Structure 1
Amino acid sequence: MNIALLGYGKMGKTIEEIAENRGHKIVLKVSDDIENHDLKELDIDVAIDFSIPKAAFKNITTCFKNNIPVVSGTTGWLEDYEKARGICEKENSAFIYASNFSLGVNVFFELNKKLAGMMQGLDDYSVNIEEIHHLQKLDAPSGTAITLAQQIIEENSKLKGWQLEDADDDEIPINAKREENVPGTHTVTYDSEVDKIEIIHTAKSRQGFALGAVVAAEYLQGKTGIFTMKDVLSDLFQN
């Protein structure tokens, strides 16, 4: 595949390495406004977006309008997500957005949903989420933590939302920490007076996130529509 990288920071460079090792070619690396580039001349098969929040919507929708499918892992722009979906569908393009492309994290998401369904009737347990990331991460809480919270809320009708730190009884508290050299750790805890249940995912490097993004890009080849990492995982497990 010919891949455009939208955002060429540490994650973009890791994606570049993995993509080239899997036989793909990077034909565009964008750190500025994508509109400064002539996309139609580059024969781009897919764009992988890990840009900054304020650039994501413009980058993604510009690709759709140029018949380029997009895999996006940028967080902090989701107030415009539904508009992006609409443009994707109008342009008959393809799109995968994920708060986290790590294949391990997406297995973790499935475990989180299953556990939330099992715990929703056990009123003695309170639930909270902790996420730890490197100091350069711009948004808090992480998109992954928000996804975990939303999954739990969907399984438990008594929970109405989430909050950073202080939360009401019908909200999930999320504790967001920033520390040196931490790719990402997410912990979901159910606590009661008699015991505590935890599930934890700890990233050891950016390699897992980058590999998942490239695998998602490979999955999009020849497709139109809106997809998720659950679709990608299902395809992998079938093969």
Structure 2
Amino acid sequence: MRILVLGHGKTGKLVAEVASERGHGVNVLDARENQNAAALTPAFLAGFDAVIDFTTPEAVIPNMRACLFSGARMVVGTTGWYSKLKDMRDLAERKDAGLLYGSNFSIGVQVMHQLAEQMGAALSGAGYDFAMSETHHITKMDKPSGTALTLVDAVVQGSSSAGKTGIAKEHIPIEAIRDGDAPGLHVLTATSGADRLTLTHEAFSRRGFAEGAVRAAEWLATRKGCYDFREVFTKL
């Protein structure tokens, strides 16, 4: 495969390294080479089987519009743009493109999503107060993290699907901490007057995110449509 990596930050560099290790040809564009998606012409994109974006919330929308308009297969690990998800999904479907997005490409975090949903279902109406805490490196753009937001959504979804008194999203506080070079720590707690249940995922490095993104690109290369990584990670 030929993979185009957008973004030359720490995660983008690691994505390129992992893709190369897995035998793929890799081209990397940084922000200076691709201002306002100017480099992403149909002719240029035709040379790649998949595009992986780890840029910024400001850059990702122009990148997505250019790639999806050209019918490219695109994996998006950037967060902070989900208010435009419907528009991007519609564009991918109109142009027979492929879009796979996720707030976190770690397999461990995907399992944490499932467990958070189970916690919401089991503890809703049982006198538990939920809280979310996330810690990331000081250069992370979005705050709170997309992963923290989707974990809260999982709790709410679980509580609603259980047919019990639903847990309101606004009643789950999120503490966002930016510290040094921390790759990612997410802690979900459910506390009652009698006990506390804690669910934790700690990333030791960004490699798990990079490996998940590359495997996602391999899977998406022969498909079209729009996919949430949470829904397909077990198929990779």
Scaled by the length of structure 1, the TM-score of the pair is: 0.90
**What's 1:95 paired with?**
99
- Find out whether 1:199 has 2:199 as its counterpart: yes
**What's 1:147 paired with?**
150
Kindly report which structure 2 residues correspond to 1:1-239, keeping only aligned pairs within 5 A, or say none. 1-31=1-31, 32-33=34-35, 34-41=37-44, 43-122=47-126, 124-157=127-160, 158-162=166-170, 171-236=171-236
Are the aligned partners of 2:71 and 2:92 in contact in 1 as well (CA < 8 Å)? no
The structural deviation recorded for 1:156 is 2.4
Q: Per the alignment, in what secondary structure is the counterpart of residue 193 of structure 2?
A: coil
CA distance in 2, matches of 1:73, 1:221: 16
Q: 1:125-157, CA deviations, whole angstroms, 9 ceiling, x for partnerless residues? A: 100000011111111100000000111112224
Q: Which consecutive unaligned segments of at least 5 residues does structure 2 have? A: 161-165
Equivalent AA in structure 1 for residue 211 of structure 2: L
Are the aligned partners of 2:117 and 2:159 in contact in 1 as well (CA < 8 Å)? no
* Change in 2 beyond 3 A, CA 1:101/1:137: same
Scaled by the length of structure 2, the TM-score of the pair is: 0.91
CA distance in 2, matches of 1:131, 1:51: 20
Q: Which consecutive unaligned segments of at least 5 residues does structure 1 have? A: 163-170
Identity %: 36
* Change in 2 beyond 3 A, CA 1:231/1:173: closer
* Change in 2 beyond 3 A, CA 1:82/1:113: same
Q: 1:197-227, CA deviations, whole angstroms, 9 ceiling, x for partnerless residues? A: 0000000000000000001101102101111
Aligned length: 227
CA distance in 2, matches of 1:27, 1:212: 18
